[in-house]
Amino acid sequence: MNDDHLISVQKLNKHYNGGAIKALNGVSLDIDKGEVVVIIGPSGSGKSTLLRSLNLLEVPTSGSIFFEGNDITSKGIDINKFRQKMGMVFQHFNLFPHLSIIDNMTLAPRKLLGMSREDAEKEALDLLEKVALKDRAHAYPSQLSGGQKQRIAIVRALAMKPDVLLFDEPTSALDPEMVGEVLDVMKDLARDGMTMAVVTHEMGFAREVGDRIIFMDEGRIIVQGTPDEIFNHTDNERLKTFLAKVL
Amino acid sequence: MYLYQLSIREWWTDLKDTFILNFIADDRYMLLLKGLGNTFLVTLGATLLGILLGVIVALVRSTYDKTITGMHPGPGKFILSFFNKISSMYLTVIRGTPVLVQLMIAYFVIFAPWAKHKTLIAIIAFGINSGAYVAEIIRSGIMSIDNGQFEAGRSLGFNYAQTLIYIIIPQAFKNVLPALANEFIVLIKETSVSCYIGLHDLTKGGEIIRSRTYTAFMPLLAVALIYLVIVMFFSRLVTLLERRLRNSER
Ligand SMILES: Nc1ncnc2c1ncn2[C@@H]1O[C@H](COP(=O)(O)OP(=O)(O)OP(=O)(O)O)[C@@H](O)[C@H]1O
Ligand SMILES: [Mg+2]
């Protein structure tokens, strides 16, 4: 029934403290192949919780999530198989400090996809070339700048050839001068047709790259629409208040 | 002046005689050497057993801490809770009672029918004891790794065990290696109580000499010196290890 959407979220709830906190309060959302969905909203509105529910890093209290037609919230499903197809990029990069860049990138393809070291490294080097970091292949994460780390985190996720990439505030931990280099990589990905769900405070990116903007508040999706609808033609008071603060 | 020289000479001859009596006569130094060998054997065996037990208990306890809240009721949750309970009972009992009492219970009660295998019993008793301390060292190592490392591993598609093996344990192990080495050093000294079960370790070696020569000073001093040298040697190694680990932290 949901085969036409890459991801379909239905009536998702995430409660804490026995329902006292409703981090997600009946969220429904479809994401299509090739779409770039940008999630915005004030702090505590549930953006991270929604994004992290998509690959079940957060286990929802109720509701369902279909990924490529499979209900990944149903009992007995092997979530690890599906996570291989859903890459995730974190605010704090989360590179593996004990592994070199190339090993960070090849660990999962080798262990989970059964690729040979040779093949995995060849593909990793191609990806590194795309983000202009091929010469850093044998460096360790702590030797890189924040912007470089996040570009590595993106290609590490890409090395698994995912069908969708989830970004949770990928530029929030970066010095301002490094934000651009990471956003540029994300723009390239969007242009190449990668499906992306991005939580961000970068309204410029949302406007330029987003196919659809989701505005959340208090665990709900308040409005969604094209960047033009959201940024130029909204009459929703909450959204207007939010935009007045961030723009 | 003359008297003084005489007394020094007397003292020296006396010292030489006691030395010969305690260590050279009847090849008594062999008693110390044999004891030293057993001390090493027990310490090494107990360390290995302790690390094995400690890793298992640490994995059970940290898996429980990290996953139990998100688990659905079912056999998996029941089994994990069960093993977690056993693990924490083990930690409470072992860390709440003296090692000498544990050793004597092992020797005189649990393994009484196999009493002639003293070394093996000592290895088991000290290994079980050490495992409790190693478990807490390793658990703190695992818990000290940022949760983002877990999430990064899981988001790539690794299951819980793979994330531990490929991502968490290598980092945790590096962090706790000095503490584990210190545990080994503590164990070297701790095994000295195994003379209570008549095991011929280093301390017992000194004891045997004392009971045969009726001189306490020299054999006990020798035993103390040997422990000191060994402990200083391994402490030095740990310091070097710590320095290397710090340098390799890029
Ligand atoms: N483990 C938790 N226990 C209790 N409440 C939580 C927990 N995690 C999140 N929450 C609550 O859920 C709500 C949504 O949090 P979430 O992190 O999704 O917000 P967010 O939109 O990502 O905010 P930010 O922009 O600050 O990152 C918040 O009110 C938060 O306090
Ligand atoms: Mg957030």
* Alpha-carbon gap: B156 to the closest alpha carbon of chain A (Å): 5
Q: Give percent of chain A above pLDDT 70.
A: 99
Sheet holding A70-71, edge to edge: A21-31, A7-16, A62-67, A70-71
Judge whether residue B69 has pLDDT over 80: no
pTM for the full model?
0.84
Mean pLDDT computed over A31-55: 96
pLDDT in tens, A115-171: 999 999 999 999 999 999 999 999 999 999 999 999 999 999 999 999 999 999 999
Closest residue to atom 31 of ligand 1, CA basis? A44
Q: What pLDDT band is residue A2 in, cutting at 50, 70 and 90?
A: very low
Please give the pLDDT value at position B174: 85
C-alpha radius of gyration, chain B, whole number: 24
Please give the pLDDT value at position A218: 95
- Cβ–ligand 1 distance for A48 under 6 Å, the answer yes
pLDDT in tens, B139-179: 999 999 999 999 999 999 999 989 999 999 999 988 898 89
Cα of B41 vs centre of ligand 2, distance in Å, is: 54
pLDDT in tens, A205-232: 999 999 999 999 999 999 999 999 999 9
Closest chain A residue to the Cα of B161, Cα to Cα? A80
Task: Let me know: does A160 contact B157? Beta carbons within 8 Å.
Answer: yes
All residues of chain A having their beta carbon less than 8 Å from the beta carbon of residue B72 are: 75
- In 3D, which of B115, B122, B128, B246 has the Cα closest to residue B178? B246
- In 3D, which of B119, B105, B149 has the Cα closest to residue A104? B149
Work out whether strand A7-16 and strand A21-31 pair parallel, antiparallel, or are unpaired: antiparallel
* Alpha-carbon gap: B76 to the closest alpha carbon of chain A (Å): 12
Tell whether the torsion through CA atoms of B70, B71, B77 and B83 is positive or negative: negative
Judge whether residue B250 has pLDDT over 60: no
